[in-house]
Structure 1
Amino acid sequence: MSKKGNYLKSPDLLPISHGERNISPFGFSVIWIGMAIVLAAFAIGGAGIQTLPLGWVIVATIIGSVAIGIFMTIIGDIGVEHGLSFPVYMRAPFGTIGTHIPSLVRGVAASCWFGINTYFGATAINGILNLLYGYDNWFLCFLLFAVVQLVNTALGIKAIERFADLAAPIIIIISCWMYVSLSDKAMAEGRDIWVWVESPVTGGAAFTAFMVVVMANMGFWATLAADMPSLSRYFKAPKNERNWFRRNKAQIAGSVITMPIVNTFMVIIGAVSYVAVLNYDPIVGLQQAASGFILGILLLMIVLAQWSTNTSANVIPAATIFSNIGGPRVPYWIGVVLAGVVGIISQPWSLFGIIIPALLVIGGILSAIVGILFTDYYVLRKRRVNVQELYEEDGQFRGMNGINMAGMIAWVIGGVASYYFPSYSFIVGFVVGAIIYYVLAKHWWFVKYKQAEIEDPSDEKYLGITVGRDWIVEEGLDPVVVPEATNPINT
């Protein structure tokens, strides 16, 4: 029986019911169009074109994007099946207290990316205002742009989807315009975008350069692969559907199809920008490739891109994590504010010079979490979760003073291993974390701390939407199966 005021039962962290899921496969694809347009993609293209022809950069990007999209979909089933967010499910492999440590790393990283994207969006806004009115104050633009994005996110997931519906077609059109402008600039400089390479490499060096592009794409999106459940729990999915692919069709449409297409196009633009002006920063490239009204429209693309990316990929995960750590006293909207504060005080205008390699390292470290989640959810629990216990302070997930040492040890070892192999950080972190956790959890931790769904792997007791269940977590209640016709609201 849980105690009054149980901090694990913050209203914003309770399971999402079937009736509350409102994002369709098309809606998630639209959200991805915005999320995939980020500065890191331009940087990957700009770095890749320095050693490889554009064709090979594209192939490497497609491979890396599809691979990480598959990982996102696999882990995202936690949200689809049970309606659980990333920090809540992390209580299973890390403990009710231990979950805060790796989750906080992801939350801070997401907040820093929020600051960086806001900074670049603000410089684009400042550029537009300078063109129109001669106004020049990027810092004020930065603060105002941050506030607008945070308010948009605090209004909820539906407000974000509505914004994405508006922004996505504009972003696509202007992205094509950007590509044409930069290609023309490259041709004017006497450089063919398909054959020009600054420092071409061959043999083993070419393969290494190819794999760096693959892993750069996987490493950057590793953070979202870990906390995809925070988004996927809002996806529409049919009840009583046992086919994994049909149940996750929204994820597949967005993460495996739409994201690789958009991400690859952004990498191409970054590469073309470097060929054109020897700088992958799109704002620098645009200012040299266009002027007047056209430049203003293209800068608008940067603003919309950063906005749509920040709300879904950065602020939502960070806010959910901060709310989980703070308990009922830190509702979701306060988590949103905290994400904004961390992003601002990180001084992104100074941070950007080192943030890309730094966050790729963090992505490698968090890939160990992806491996641990995969092992815990699919291999050990076989998708069955004793959800009610995730919200009990003294339940089966408490472990040793709230910490699951099997998860913590596996994370540390996997993270350290990935650090020493940065070019292969995602694969190394995932494999090492998954294997170490399996051995420690199966043969040590879960022998000592029994897990009901492992001891009694019952579909009817521990599966969610597959058996038509909405998980209801309230004071003194057991999990129940809610009839199809009802639309419960968790409180």
Structure 2
Amino acid sequence: MSENKDYLKSPDLLPIPHREKNISAVGFGFIWVGMAVVLAAFAIGGNGVQSLSLGWVVLATVIACVVLGFLMTMTGDIGVEHGISFPVYMRAPFGTIGTHIPSLVRAFVASCWFGLNTYFGATAMNAIFATLFNFNNWFICFLVFAILQLVNTAMGIKSIERFADLAAPVIILISGWMYFTLSDQAVVQGREVWSWIESPATGGAAVTAFMVVIMSNMGFWGTLTADMPTLSRFIEAPKNEKNWFKRNKGQIIGNVITYPITQTFMVIIGAVSYMAVSNYDPVVAIQGSASGITLGVLLLMIVFAQWSTNTSANVIPAATIFSNVMGPRMPFWSGVVVAGIIGIVVQPWSLFGIIIEVLLIVGGILASIVGILVADYYFLRKRRVNVPELYESEGQYKYKNGVNWAGIIAWIIGGSGATIFSNYSFIVGFILGSATYYVLAKYWWFKKYEQAEIIDPSDEKYLGISVGKDWDIGKRMVDEEEVLNMPLGGENVK
């Protein structure tokens, strides 16, 4: 084959076979502990208690996280079932070329988050060095911290899991210390931490504030909801398991249990931090209540937390997307470098005051992609995917000049609605995106460009791990029994 025909077959984007799915349910849970400890989570809590009691903030957060966790697991089934990443599957609802438009938006957002979290972690690292060694240069800390994270990510998913195994217990213990310390500070200042009744806002204003907390939580993690397949393709899952819940058990433990618990706890810490020192940034509160080695250890938690978040939630998705756009010319490690460069060039230290609001709006826009993925994967293809064609430049998913206009139009409509109704951005984007795509694809686009898995919804042809098969791109699907019966020469044993 020519290089031109092979550009969709970058080795880093090929389906992950069952034997290489090596992240355990516990390991994925630890990854989530690290990912959920970010400045934006603290901000949601700090902003929320300015209008609502902490009890209502917690309820809104739990609702948002549980709903989003199920949506993450739904999109993540693409990675579990077929072993493919987000940008590869996006070739189905957007086309082999059209996939680059929404994917690059997601990659840019992820790269910006990498820069923002690196800056936040670097300030904590700088405070550690200033406290212990009288060294004070945050920019050098920023560059060193960025390089460490990029190297860790380039080493692969197993290296990231090992770091999460180390960081998660530290984060949990120190987060508990932060909560109790900040709660005590708030009580000393005469503020009731836990209350369901006394909310600053009442009536319609309270309802709006409640919805804003829900949408803030959903909008913030909506980006990862879209590209969960990029992570879930590495999660352990049983072969020949048709039951959706059993097949996705490893995901569910992380997405529906660990993530809501951790996210809610971080929101609570941000809330009590605001109550204690009128600032949702717990680093400010920590520096006012600790010193010496204690302060250094607490700040180290912030560094670990940003590291865990960036490698899993930001650098991996961005690098995978860049590799998808450039093809074999850009292996995964090169995509990691590009993500890092963008995260530095955007100068997050200058954008710090507005970046959270901007990224939450973009998260709402990307919510329409989640709706499109759900509609395409579950309601139109019914989980059956012609995976080999996803890697063919002249195949089924080329559509018209490489673009599926049903997906592009649905994304524009859903994203526009999410921007207009920003207080309800995720809900609006998801509903408009999914509904518009379903109608356009089913009654217009797929009438013009027939889809093999919709015409012939065969389990054996178009399902993956749930029928015990791995996708072997360039040849065909092979099951475990065939492999065991295949000699070194390659011919089947009769």
Matched-pair contact (CA < 8 Å) for 1:49–1:198: no
AA aligned opposite 2:440:
L
For 1:24, the equivalent position in structure 2 comes to 24
For 1:73, the equivalent position in structure 2 comes to 73
Secondary structure of residue in 2 paired with 1:470: strand
For 1:6, the equivalent position in structure 2 comes to 6
Does the alignment pair 1:49 with 2:62?
no
Please, which of 479, 484, 489 is the counterpart of residue 481 of structure 1?
479
AA aligned opposite 1:465:
I
For residues 196 and 19 of structure 1, what CA distance do their matches in structure 2 show? 49
Instruction: Tell me by how many angstroms 1:2 deviates.
Output: 7.7
Matched-pair contact (CA < 8 Å) for 1:17–1:487: no
For residues 487 and 268 of structure 1, what CA distance do their matches in structure 2 show? 56
Instruction: Tell me by how many angstroms 1:182 deviates.
Output: 1.2
For 1:111, the equivalent position in structure 2 comes to 111
For residues 205 and 485 of structure 2, what CA distance do their matches in structure 1 show? 58
Distance change >3 Å, CA 432–CA 2, structure 1 → 2: farther
For 1:59, the equivalent position in structure 2 comes to 59
Does the alignment pair 1:208 with 2:208?
yes
AA aligned opposite 1:479:
M
Matched-pair contact (CA < 8 Å) for 1:19–1:487: no
Task: Describe the superposition over 1:407-438 as per-residue Cα deviations: whole angstroms up to 9, x where unpaired.
Answer: 00000000001111111111100000011101
For residues 345 and 452 of structure 1, what CA distance do their matches in structure 2 show? 44
Secondary structure of residue in 1 paired with 2:97: coil
Distance change >3 Å, CA 105–CA 294, structure 1 → 2: same
For 2:269, the equivalent position in structure 1 comes to 269
For 2:431, the equivalent position in structure 1 comes to 431
For residues 338 and 158 of structure 1, what CA distance do their matches in structure 2 show? 21
AA aligned opposite 2:481:
P
For residues 428 and 253 of structure 2, what CA distance do their matches in structure 1 show? 27
Instruction: Tell me by how many angstroms 1:355 deviates.
Output: 1.1
For 1:241, the equivalent position in structure 2 comes to 241
Give TM-score, length-normalised by structure 2. 0.96
AA aligned opposite 1:413:
I
Secondary structure of residue in 1 paired with 2:398: coil
Secondary structure of residue in 2 paired with 1:184: helix
For 1:154, the equivalent position in structure 2 comes to 154
Distance change >3 Å, CA 409–CA 2, structure 1 → 2: farther
AA aligned opposite 1:443:
Y
Secondary structure of residue in 2 paired with 1:279: coil
Matched-pair contact (CA < 8 Å) for 1:51–1:197: no
Secondary structure of residue in 2 paired with 1:471: strand
For 2:291, the equivalent position in structure 1 comes to 291
For 1:373, the equivalent position in structure 2 comes to 373
For 1:94, the equivalent position in structure 2 comes to 94
Secondary structure of residue in 1 paired with 2:258: helix
Matched-pair contact (CA < 8 Å) for 1:372–1:411: yes
Does the alignment pair 1:327 with 2:312?
no
For 1:231, the equivalent position in structure 2 comes to 231
Instruction: Tell me by how many angstroms 1:235 deviates.
Output: 0.7
Distance change >3 Å, CA 347–CA 4, structure 1 → 2: closer
For residues 144 and 392 of structure 2, what CA distance do their matches in structure 1 show? 41
AA aligned opposite 2:128:
I
For 1:348, the equivalent position in structure 2 comes to 348
Secondary structure of residue in 1 paired with 2:453: helix
Instruction: Tell me by how many angstroms 1:486 deviates.
Output: 5.7
Alignment coverage as a number of residue pairs = 486
Matched-pair contact (CA < 8 Å) for 1:43–1:270: yes
For 2:122, the equivalent position in structure 1 comes to 122
Instruction: Tell me by how many angstroms 1:207 deviates.
Output: 1.2
RMSD of aligned C-alpha atoms?
1.7
Task: Describe the superposition over 1:12-43 as per-residue Cα deviations: whole angstroms up to 9, x where unpaired.
Answer: 00000000000111111111110111111000
For residues 436 and 401 of structure 1, what CA distance do their matches in structure 2 show? 22
AA aligned opposite 2:177:
W
Give TM-score, length-normalised by structure 1. 0.97
AA aligned opposite 1:304:
F
Matched-pair contact (CA < 8 Å) for 1:116–1:348: yes
Distance change >3 Å, CA 484–CA 351, structure 1 → 2: farther
For 2:491, the equivalent position in structure 1 comes to none
Matched-pair contact (CA < 8 Å) for 1:368–1:433: yes
Task: Describe the superposition over 1:327-360 as per-residue Cα deviations: whole angstroms up to 9, x where unpaired.
Answer: 0000000000001000011101111211111111
AA aligned opposite 2:425:
S
Secondary structure of residue in 2 paired with 1:480: strand
Task: Describe the superposition over 1:174-216 as per-residue Cα deviations: whole angstroms up to 9, x where unpaired.
Answer: 0011112212222232222224999701111111111111111
For residues 379 and 86 of structure 2, what CA distance do their matches in structure 1 show? 18
Matched-pair contact (CA < 8 Å) for 1:52–1:197: no
Matched-pair contact (CA < 8 Å) for 1:464–1:471: yes
Instruction: Tell me by how many angstroms 1:255 deviates.
Output: 0.3
Matched-pair contact (CA < 8 Å) for 1:413–1:433: yes
Secondary structure of residue in 1 paired with 2:470: coil
Distance change >3 Å, CA 197–CA 273, structure 1 → 2: farther
Instruction: Tell me by how many angstroms 1:478 deviates.
Output: 2.9
AA aligned opposite 1:104:
L
Matched-pair contact (CA < 8 Å) for 1:73–1:251: yes
Matched-pair contact (CA < 8 Å) for 1:181–1:290: no
For residues 482 and 113 of structure 2, what CA distance do their matches in structure 1 show? 40
Question: Gapped runs of 5+ residues in structure 2?
Answer: 487-494
For residues 337 and 414 of structure 1, what CA distance do their matches in structure 2 show? 32
Instruction: Tell me by how many angstroms 1:283 deviates.
Output: 1.6
Does the alignment pair 1:318 with 2:318?
yes
For 2:405, the equivalent position in structure 1 comes to 405
Matched-pair contact (CA < 8 Å) for 1:50–1:198: no
For residues 210 and 327 of structure 1, what CA distance do their matches in structure 2 show? 44
For residues 246 and 408 of structure 2, what CA distance do their matches in structure 1 show? 34
For residues 287 and 198 of structure 1, what CA distance do their matches in structure 2 show? 29
Does the alignment pair 1:392 with 2:384?
no
AA aligned opposite 1:175:
S
Matched-pair contact (CA < 8 Å) for 2:132–2:293: no
AA aligned opposite 2:479:
V
Instruction: Tell me by how many angstroms 1:4 deviates.
Output: 6.3
Question: Gapped runs of 5+ residues in structure 1?
Answer: none
For residues 2 and 206 of structure 1, what CA distance do their matches in structure 2 show? 61
For residues 215 and 403 of structure 2, what CA distance do their matches in structure 1 show? 31
Matched-pair contact (CA < 8 Å) for 2:469–2:478: yes
Matched-pair contact (CA < 8 Å) for 1:50–1:197: no
Instruction: Tell me by how many angstroms 1:243 deviates.
Output: 0.3
For 2:35, the equivalent position in structure 1 comes to 35
For residues 197 and 160 of structure 1, what CA distance do their matches in structure 2 show? 43
Distance change >3 Å, CA 484–CA 176, structure 1 → 2: farther
Distance change >3 Å, CA 265–CA 487, structure 1 → 2: farther
